[in-house]
């Protein structure tokens, strides 16, 4: 998609508006979020759009204040509030072919090796959408067939996944475990053998790979049905050890896809399973288990990622062999957030080692971590469904998700002042009548009330701002002007600065916290870092899981396990 001049005109208008409102350099993040949330057609070109937003923001940031205001006026002035309200994208998904209201049965099939994360969102929300649309059922079937030494099943993760689904508002109608169903798969294997569709292979893996490439048959592929049944009973009876024999499907050795040639149906494993121990030694591969379970559990439609197309072929081949008709398959492409570097195996190691703060650590990008950050299930759902069932792999900035959440929480979220790495500033000749002031809890929603804020003569300001504006006159946001001395912020002790005026002038505005009654805050960031600071006294009224917007920082959520009244107040950064 090529972005035309009309898109650039809107980008410039929003950049100018952002700069004028905040009296400084425009912030690309909110501009990008507004564009993506109000025009879903731009999402396919999010990378190109982000580049345009950053380029235009840099250009606008270099203009003098009076030129910014004049340029915004020439483009028609600020966008109206209605235009700024994010449009709810992603209306109706396409109907399910052959679906009958009240009779649709769908399934989710996670492997319990990690918590569900933002990459799992399509599995959760698309299936749940159709469950609700057709008043059907959604089953959770844990794919806990035996793993490998590298990919082990963790017993604790069954509950983690169930909790993730509860957070997402997609509680299943029934829960099944493959490990409970193993004996049921054996008669199905026998039926496949009796149809001449499988044989027991004892070839070394290296030889098999070579034969596949060369389109050559395994020496044991010529087994009769009776011979295969005997070998199958030996597998079940313990004659063969792990790695010595597998049950293999007979397919076309000349199939264009080498991976489809004589794939494994069952293998032997002597690993301990966390739920059933060593009760079973012969385990089905997932595609065989699903060929069976999609029939046994009455699944009417299978909706899953396009990376599982090979599994579709396997299931359809087995159904055709047994004269069965299974459910149709629908697929989606990969949906990624650019900033979310997701690896279940890495996250598992970091959680187990204690480096991560459990599966709700922000670095996992799990459903639990997003909830911990104050990103609602409704925002996750709207974000996910807005992309429909596109087969294209999609990568979008996290701002796309954040904009959905911002549209939900912004209007009811109280504002509070917070200062990171605070430095005390004592203001000389400060007007006594400005010792306490009244501020709105929300700039656009007077119904949320006001709070009385302790102001000067002593304040806390961010050290980074003091260093940046040392030797210049600045405005304490919504309050008064002072002149910072040269070298402000470079010393360990407090800073003394003179009061200059109350006039609301076009000078840098700094966030501040009144020194009297300031409350300590520990802010957990998205990379697991802890940032220390002080917040205004009104934050002392916080309760666990409350959401606030720290002005000029972003949305935060109070930790759910924080005890009201404890110090510091522990919060987690949500998003800008």
In angstroms, the CA 171 to CA 414 distance is 31
Nearest by Cα to 365 from 389, 385, 395, 338? 338
3-state DSSP call for residue 573? strand
pLDDT at 40: 65
> Which two structure tokens, joined as six digits, stand for 317?
């081949």
The answer to whether the bond into 568 is cis (omega within 30° of 0) is yes
Question: What is the dotted CATH code of the domain comprising 413-576?
Answer: 2.40.240.10
Q: What angle do CA 10, 574, 511 make, to 5 degrees?
A: 75
**Under CATH, what is the fold of the domain 90-330?**
Rossmann fold (3.40.50)
> Per DSSP, what are the bridge partners of residue 573?
556
pLDDT at 229: 98
pLDDT at 34: 73
In angstroms, the CA 546 to CA 301 distance is 40
Contact indicator for 132, 168 with CB cutoff of 8 Å: no
Burial classification of residue 104, based on how many CB atoms lie within 10 Å of its CB (0-12 exposed, 13-18 middle, 19 or more buried): buried
Where do the structural domains in the chain lie, given as residue ranges? Answer: 5-84, 90-330, 413-576
pLDDT at 193: 98
pLDDT at 310: 87
Angle, helix 5-22 to helix 65-74, in steps of 10 degrees: 140
Residue ranges of the chain with per-residue pLDDT less than 70: 1-2, 22-23, 37-38, 40, 44, 79-91, 147-151
Nearest by Cα to 105 from 245, 343, 293? 293
pLDDT at 357: 92
> Per DSSP, what are the bridge partners of residue 497?
427
Dihedral (CA of 483, 486, 490, 495) sign: negative
> Which two structure tokens, joined as six digits, stand for 448?
């949320």
pLDDT at 159: 96
pLDDT at 86: 35
pLDDT at 88: 39
pLDDT at 89: 42
> Which two structure tokens, joined as six digits, stand for 367?
């459903």
């Amino acid at each position: 998609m090529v972005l035309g001049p009309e898109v650039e005109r809107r980008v410039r208008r929003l950049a100018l508006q952002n700069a004028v409102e905040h009296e400084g350099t425009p912030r690309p993040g909110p501009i990008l979020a507004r564009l993506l949330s109000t025009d879903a057609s731009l999402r396919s070109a999010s990378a190109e759009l982000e580049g345009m937003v950053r380029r235009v923001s840099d250009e606008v940031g270099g203009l003098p204040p009076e030129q910014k205001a004049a340029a915004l006026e020439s483009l028609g002035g600020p966008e109206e509030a209605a235009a700024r309200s994010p449009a709810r994208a992603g209306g109706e998904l396409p109907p399910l072919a052959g679906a009958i209201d009240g009779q649709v049965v769908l399934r989710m099939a996670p492997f319990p090796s990690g918590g569900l994360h933002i990459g799992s969102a399509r599995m959760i929300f698309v299936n749940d959408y159709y469950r609700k649309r057709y008043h059907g059922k959604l089953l959770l079937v844990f794919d806990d067939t035996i793993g490998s030494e590298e990919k082990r099943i963790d017993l604790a993760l069954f509950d983690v996944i169930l909790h993730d689904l509860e957070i997402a508002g997609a509680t299943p109608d029934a829960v099944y475990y493959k490990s409970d169903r193993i004996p049921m798969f054996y008669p199905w294997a026998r039926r496949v053998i009796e149809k001449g569709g499988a044989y027991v292979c004892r070839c070394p893996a290296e030889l098999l790979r070579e034969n596949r490439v060369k389109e050559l048959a395994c020496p044991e592929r010529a087994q009769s049905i009776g011979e295969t049944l005997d070998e199958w009973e030996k597998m079940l009876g313990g004659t063969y050890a792990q790695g010595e024999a597998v049950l293999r499907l007979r397919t076309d050795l000349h199939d264009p896809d080498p991976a489809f040639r004589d794939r494994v149906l069952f293998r032997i494993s002597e690993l301990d399973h966390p739920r059933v121990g060593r009760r079973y030694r012969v385990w089905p591969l997932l595609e065989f288990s699903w060929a069976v379970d999609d029939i046994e559990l009455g699944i009417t439609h299978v909706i899953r990622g396009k990376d599982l197309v090979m599994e579709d072929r396997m299931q359809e081949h087995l159904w055709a062999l047994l004269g069965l008709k299974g459910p149709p398959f629908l697929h989606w492409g990969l949906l990624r957030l650019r900033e979310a570097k997701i690896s279940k195996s890495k996250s598992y190691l970091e959680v187990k080692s204690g480096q991560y703060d459990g599966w709700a650590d922000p670095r996992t990008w799990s459903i639990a971590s997003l909830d911990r950050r104050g990103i609602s299930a409704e925002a996750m759902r709207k974000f996910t469904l807005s992309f429909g069932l596109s087969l294209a792999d999609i990568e979008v900035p996290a701002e796309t998700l954040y904009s959905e959440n911002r549209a939900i929480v912004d209007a009811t979220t109280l504002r509070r002042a917070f200062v990171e790495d605070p430095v005390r500033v004592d203001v000389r000749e400060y007007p006594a009548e400005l010792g306490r002031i009244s501020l709105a809890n929300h700039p656009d929603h007077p119904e949320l009330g006001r709070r009385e804020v302790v102001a000067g003569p002593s304040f806390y300001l961010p050290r980074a701002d003091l260093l940046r504006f040392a030797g210049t006159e600045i405005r304490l946001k919504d309050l008064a002007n002072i002149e910072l001395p040269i070298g402000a912020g470079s010393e360990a002790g407090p800073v003394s600065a003179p009061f200059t005026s109350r006039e609301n002038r076009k000078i840098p505005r700094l966030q501040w916290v009144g020194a009297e009654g300031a409350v300590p805050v520990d802010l957990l960031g998205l990379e697991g870092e802890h940032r220390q600071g002080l917040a205004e006294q009104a934050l002392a009224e916080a309760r666990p899981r409350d959401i606030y917007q720290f002005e000029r920082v972003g949305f935060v959520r109070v930790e759910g396990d924080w005890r009201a009244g404890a110090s510091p107040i522990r919060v987690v950064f949500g998003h800008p």
